[in-house]
Amino acid sequence: MAPLIALAVVTGLTRLIGWLVGPDWLDSWPHTTALGLAVMFALTAGAHFIQPKRGELIAMVPPAFPNAAAMVTLTGVLETAGALGLLIPPFPRAAAICLFLLLLIMFPANVRAAKQDIGVQTMPLPLRTVVQVIFLGACAVVAFG
């Protein structure tokens, strides 16, 4: 739930600041959502490298994938790169599209974790699915908004 809170708080606060006092750049949903997503993905990326979350994420990787630890490291690096890309013009649109695809690719691991009660246990599958849709929607706002 912390990633969702980070996304909502950062996006909401930066949008409010932009609306109240500027700069005009912050008076834009795509720009403020990019900031919120950057914070969210920086937060989630950190879990890929720090125990005990790293071990929980490794447990979530479906057994069909080789070297679960390497997969978790790779996704952490991709999330970090995406978070940085959201902050560096002219890359936010491309970063948001890539992160959208990454979220889709990783969702089966979340389904497996929820169904088998393994890995990161944050929420039941229906709620996890709703949160995933919110993350996908935020990426779409940045990419196409």
Per-residue confidence (pLDDT) for residue 71, from 0 to 100: 95
Report pLDDT for 124: 86
> What was the pLDDT predicted at 32?
97
The pLDDT value given to residue 119: 77
Angle at 136 between CA 134 and CA 140, to 5 degrees: 110
pTM for the model stands at 0.93
Report phi then psi at 92, rounded to 5: -55, -40
pLDDT, residue 16, reads 94
Residue 53: predicted pLDDT: 92
Residue 22 is inside which H or E element, if any? none
Confidence (pLDDT) at 120 = 75
Report d(CA 143, CA 120) in Å as an integer. 28
The one-digit pLDDT tens for each residue of the chain (145 residues) are 899 999 999 999 999 999 999 888 888 999 999 999 999 999 999 999 999 999 999 998 988 888 999 999 999 999 999 999 999 999 999 999 999 999 999 998 888 888 888 877 778 889 989 999 999 999 999 999 9
